[in-house]
Chains A and B, each alone.
Chain A
Amino acid sequence: MKSRRAKFLAAALLLLLASAAAAEPRRIVSANLCADRLVAALADPDKVVSLSYHAADPALSTILERAARLPLNHGDAEEIAALHPDLVVFGQYTGGAAVNMLQGLGIPVHILPVPRDLAETRSAIRDLAARLGVPERGENLVREIDDGLARFSRDHKPANGRPRAIIYSAGGWTYGAHSIDDDILRKVGAVNISTLAGIDGIGNLSLEQMVALQPQLIVVETIGNQPSLETQLLQHPALLSGGAKRLDMPMRLWQCQDAALVEAARRISEALP
């Protein structure tokens, strides 16, 4: 009798501890733009305590109304610790020293990776959803994205029949193999000529090189229209000299790996010849 009660007590204790450890976070702080958007999409609103200041930037954010109602942080450890969070989400490259400091204070931190393709996007969403304690919502989001993209997928025509496209950003930055942008271009049935030019990940092409590759569609990432030399490059008369069509893509549609990607894919699909 004694051993059975002891086992029962031990089991109950273990269960209690386990559930405590696996308890959903109730005070979530997001310190990164893409994390903001995913957290806003996945977690209950009353559990989100703060978003990053980028969430209020109309050029980058898709959750402006949410941002208007919450305090905004700058990714600073002291600032965040003062909010008494039980989970802080940082981006892969934007945490810096704050990550270590918060962990040192015993505050759990989740790092949202920058995915290099759609498969990594799915796992990033699933991991975050699990951490937030809402795995079903993560699955729903992944399915929403996949279904949405599938609507714009075209049959894979033979390579020389596919339209040539390129993503060209301020300053000549472009995306080649192993990037989300490349994945999306391929999904909508285009050939990413940056990949053909040998670019892996993010790379730079001079105006002349880009024009010489003769794209049919140039997707120009725009981030507001404040003047700078790099954005001036995108107004160079020679940009469209090869007869290419230009599609202005607001940065916020494809900055992050969430449902906005579907809208981005739709626009590209419609713009393709």
Chain B
Amino acid sequence: MKRPPWPEFLLLLALAGLVALSCSLGASHISPLRLFESPLARQIVIEIRLPRTVLALLVGASLGLSGAVLQALLRNPLADPGVLGISATSSLGAVLVFYFGFHFVVAGGIAGSLAAVLILILLAGRHAGTLTLLLAGVALSSFAVALTSLALNLAPSPLAAYEILFWLLGSVADRSWPQVAMVAPFILGGWAVLATTVRGLDALTLGEDVAHSLGVDLRRLRWAAVAGTALCVGGSVSAAGAIGFVGLVVPHMMRALVGHGSARLLPACALAGAVLLLAADIAVRLLPLGTDLKLGVTTALVGAPFFLAQILKMRERQ
């Protein structure tokens, strides 16, 4: 039963449209159509709007992709970098590096991500049920948020304490090309590593023993998933803060449209994540609320009800 590729096609169309829209929107109301006549318009579109757009795509794709991989690896439909506390810990790492004067923020973000996954494995064990895993995620998340708040209060800059909303809810506003360039190699590297898990993840559907008997190296699979997630989520959080729910919602949506096969599902989730986050960023810019609404608010407004619906569905199944 082969499903035709119309979901991916539509997503690509949506992506192109949203990119164009994103480059046209801005507080100065300058149209990108003036790109060629006005150096000012060129500057604004290329230096201010475009890095923001590209970052939204990179982060959204990373979240969608890592959500799909985590759900398949942990065989748990509620897995997501946010729910499991990976994003929050990544934030903590980034904050510790950034505010205390070191420039390589992305190192902090990735270290935080990696630490989170290792701690989760330690807390929940390899054969953890849903409850244990989610509780471990809650514990990790709460702890990371508390430490982040403390770190921001202790930071040398007096402005730091007010910036916690960025780290907790995320934003791509006014991000510049140097910042995007700092994280892009790690994000792309993470994608490459996650791509190697495709075969193994499919085999895991029927359990670890069957997967092993089908020739899958489970340890290598787990490490690839861990490393790939750490790289792309860590990189994303370093530049845009912790944005939740994208990794939770996107795999469910795409599974219904393209099926469970990882070879098709993973790229589709990356694509859908990019589209979703860019749409959320555009929504943030269109809403006439004046001050900078954080990106994570819109994803939470969509994602949290979805999360609750999933829980209810699981209860019914029981």
The judgment on whether A and B are partners is yes
A residues whose Cβ falls under 8 Å from a Cβ of B: 170-171, 204-209, 211-212, 214, 223-224, 226-231, 233, 235-238, 241-242
- Residues on B with C-beta less than 8 A from A229 are 159, 163, 166
Q: Which chain B residues in 225-267 approach chain A with CB under 8 Å?
A: none
- Min CB distance B135 to A, Å, is 32
Of all chain A residues, the one with the shortest Cβ separation from B285 is: A206
Of all chain A residues, the one with the shortest Cβ separation from B101 is: A227
Q: Which chain B residues in 152-187 approach chain A with CB under 8 Å?
A: 155-160, 163, 166, 173-174, 176-178
- Interface segment out of the listed B25-33, B64-72, B191-199, B305-313: B25-33
Give 17 new A-B contacts, CB below 8 A, not counting A211-B48, A229-B163. Answer: A206-B174, A208-B44, A211-B40, A212-B27, A214-B40, A226-B101, A226-B156, A227-B99, A227-B101, A227-B157, A228-B159, A229-B159, A229-B166, A231-B157, A236-B47, A236-B48, A236-B176
| Given known A-B contacts A206-B27, A206-B174, A236-B174, A211 and B157 have beta carbons under 8 A apart | no
Q: Is the CB of B163 within 8 A of A208?
A: no
Q: Is the CB of B174 within 8 A of A207?
A: yes
| Given known A-B contacts A214-B40, A241-B47, A208 and B155 have beta carbons under 8 A apart | no
- Residues on A with C-beta less than 8 A from B166 are 229
Q: Out of A170, A212, A237, name the residue touching B176 (CB < 8 Å).
A: A237
Q: Is the CB of B163 within 8 A of A238?
A: no
| Given known A-B contacts A227-B157, A228-B160, A208 and B176 have beta carbons under 8 A apart | no
- Residues on A with C-beta less than 8 A from B30 are 208, 212
Q: Give the docked Cα–Cα distance between A212 and B30 (Å).
A: 8
| Given known A-B contacts A231-B159, A238-B176, A211 and B98 have beta carbons under 8 A apart | no
Q: Is the CB of B159 within 8 A of A230?
A: yes
Of all chain B residues, the one with the shortest Cβ separation from A235 is: B176
- Min CB distance A132 to B, Å, is 30
Q: Is B318 on the interface with A (CB-CB < 8 A)?
A: no
Of all chain A residues, the one with the shortest Cβ separation from B99 is: A227
Q: Give the docked Cα–Cα distance between A237 and B50 (Å).
A: 13
Of all chain B residues, the one with the shortest Cβ separation from A242 is: B40
Q: Give the docked Cα–Cα distance between A209 and B29 (Å).
A: 8
Q: Is the CB of A212 within 8 A of B163?
A: no
- Min CB distance B180 to A, Å, is 11
Of all chain B residues, the one with the shortest Cβ separation from A204 is: B291
Q: Is the CB of A208 within 8 A of B49?
A: yes
Q: Is the CB of B176 within 8 A of A226?
A: no
Q: Give the docked Cα–Cα distance between A229 and B157 (Å).
A: 10
Q: Is the CB of B27 within 8 A of A208?
A: yes
Q: Is the CB of A238 within 8 A of B98?
A: no
Q: Is B76 on the interface with A (CB-CB < 8 A)?
A: no
- Min CB distance B68 to A, Å, is 30
Q: Out of A204, A223, A235, A241, name the residue touching B43 (CB < 8 Å).
A: A241
| Given known A-B contacts A208-B27, A233-B174, A228 and B157 have beta carbons under 8 A apart | yes
Q: Is the CB of A209 within 8 A of B158?
A: no
Q: Out of B28, B159, B291, name the residue touching A211 (CB < 8 Å).
A: B28
- Min CB distance B257 to A, Å, is 36
Q: Out of A212, A227, A231, A233, name the residue touching B44 (CB < 8 Å).
A: A212
Which among B40, B155, B156, B174 has the greatest number of chain A C-beta atoms within 10 A? B174
Q: Give the docked Cα–Cα distance between A252 and B160 (Å).
A: 20
Q: Which chain B residues in 4-52 approach chain A with CB under 8 Å?
A: 26-28, 30, 40, 43-44, 47-49
